[in-house]
Amino acid sequence: MEEIRLIEVKEEIHADNKAKADALRKRLMANKTFLLNLMSSPGAGKTTVILRTIEALRNDLHMSVIEADIDSMVDAEKIAKTGITAVQLRTGGFCHLDASMVERGLEGLDLGSLDLVIIENVGNLVCPAEFDTGAIRNAMILSVPEGDDKPLKYPLMFTVCDVLLINKIDYLQLSDFDVRAVRERVMRLNPGIKIFEVSSKTGQGIGDWAQWLKKEVDEFRSG
Ligand SMILES: Nc1nc2c(ncn2[C@@H]2O[C@H](COP(=O)(O)OP(=O)(O)OP(=O)(O)O)[C@@H](O)[C@H]2O)c(=O)[nH]1
Ligand SMILES: [Mg+2]
């Protein structure tokens, strides 16, 4: 297992964040490193999706993962077991990441040698949507057991994301979750959003998601 760096991070002043995020994006562009910010409520499947994405893309892309949690290293340990470098940010109570916390996470990584860095943001559908992390793309997961009303209750999260993964579709038969209603609700908020239906348990739909992500990374790196 790879050794995991643990970094304690603290919140900075909100007004600074946008400028910091823009500066970070410039640095990522100069290094041709694609930063993906993955958000969802706790337990929707962020770590499992990241593990599946590593499996699908590890032969094509050099990647690392930044894990953020209020406490604990369990997710970073799961990533490190794959041999992919994981950095654990401990937010000490904060419910989201901002650009300077992400910058701290990138400190230990050699950006020049990385095509893709995935951030697993703190599990929460509210605060992470309010903070620009400097990412090139924002992604979110809504899982079937959470219910199909979430775009109505947490519209900002669905508005700031470029891509939505509807995860745990293996539960659909046991649930009243209406995929078509979710698609309509999300498209009303964010007509440009890309939506994938996946199960990171069975692997269904993961290929399409990984292919989309690979294309985004390739276009960014050649742009
Ligand atoms: N049935 C089913 N279970 C899933 C799927 N994806 C994840 N899980 C399970 O859901 C639970 C939570 O998954 P995680 O990947 O840890 O979720 P997370 O969003 O990273 O959770 P936090 O880091 O705590 O916010 C685990 O028991 C997973 O095995 C799926 O597609 N189908
Ligand atoms: Mg996790």
pLDDT, tens only, 170-205: 999 999 999 999 999 999 999 999 999 999 999 999
Name, in order, each residue with C-beta under 8 angstroms of 136's C-beta and a sequence gap of 6 or more. Answer: 25, 28, 34, 35, 36, 216, 220
Tell me how many helices (H) and strands (E) the chain has.
Answer: 8, 8
Q: What is the pLDDT of residues 8-17, one digit of tens each?
A: 886 666 668 9
Residue 98 pLDDT > 80 = yes
pLDDT at 2: 67
Probe target for ligand 1 pocket from 37, 47, 167, with the most ligand atoms within 8 Å of CB: 47
Ligand with smallest separation from the Cα of 40: 1
Q: Enter the pTM of the model.
A: 0.96
Map tokens 């979750």 to a residue.
Answer: 177
Q: Which ligand 1 atom is at minimum distance from the Cα of 42?
A: 25
| Mean pLDDT of all residues in 144-151 | 98
Q: What is the tens place of the pLDDT at every residue in 112-136? A: 999 999 999 999 999 999 999 999 9
Phi-psi region of 103 (alpha: psi -120 to 50; beta: other; left: phi over 0): alpha
Mutate to test the pocket of ligand 1, among 46, 48, 97 (most ligand atoms within 8 A of CB): 48
Taking the centre of ligand 1 as the mean of its atom positions, its distance from the CA of residue 45, in whole angstroms, is 3
Taking the CA of 46 as reference, the closest ligand is 1
15-37 pLDDT, tens digit per residue, is 689 999 999 999 999 999 999 99
Instruction: Find the 43 Cα to ligand 2 centroid distance in Å.
Output: 7
64-73, 84-93, 139-148 — most confident range: 139-148
> pLDDT per residue over 42-67, tens digit each?
999 999 999 999 999 999 999 999 99
Write out the two tokens for 148.
């199909």
What is the per-residue pLDDT for 53?
A: 98
pLDDT at position 17, please?
Answer: 93
Concatenated DSSP letters for 70-139? SS--HHHHHHHTTT--EEEEE-TT-SS--HHHHHHHHTTS-GGG-SEEEEE--S-SSGGGGS--S-SEEE
Measured between alpha carbons, how far is residue 115 from residues 1, 31, 65 in Å? 21, 9, 12
Confidence (pLDDT) at 12: 60
Written as six digits, the tokens of 161 are 């994301």
Q: What percent of the chain has pLDDT over 90?
A: 87
Model pLDDT, residue 1: 64
pLDDT for residue 108: 84
- Give the ligand at the shortest distance from the Cα of 49: 1
Domain 5-222 has CATH 3.30.460.10: no
Q: Which pLDDT value is given to residue 204?
A: 98
Mean pLDDT of 93-121: 94
Q: Where are the domains of the chain?
A: 5-222
